[in-house]
Amino acid sequence: MHELMEQRNLGMTQMHELMQEGNPGMTQMCELMHQGAPDHA
């Protein structure tokens, strides 16, 4: 379980990096959020 949480946290970090860049890759960010952080919803 903890390993999965760590992987999700890594996905969240990548998501925030994409958001900070302000790239049009918002779709990818949303996909990462849905795949990596369903528990945070």
State pTM to two decimals.
Answer: 0.30
Using the predicted structure, report yes or no on whether residue 26 has a pLDDT greater than 70: no
Q: Report in angstroms the alpha-carbon separations of 23 from 8, 26, 39.
A: 21, 7, 25
Give the confidence band of 27 by pLDDT, cuts at 50, 70, 90: confident
41 within some domain = no
Q: How many CB atoms lie within 10 A of CB 32?
A: 20
**What domain range is 17 assigned to?**
1-36
How many distinct structural domains can be found in the chain?
A: 1
In a domain, 6, yes or no: yes
The DSSP secondary structure of 1-41, one letter per residue, reads -HHHHHHHHHHHHHHHHHHHHT-STHHHHHHHHHHH-GGG-
Instruction: Check if the beta carbon of residue 15 is closer than 8 Å to that of residue 32.
Output: yes
| 13 assigned to some structural domain | yes
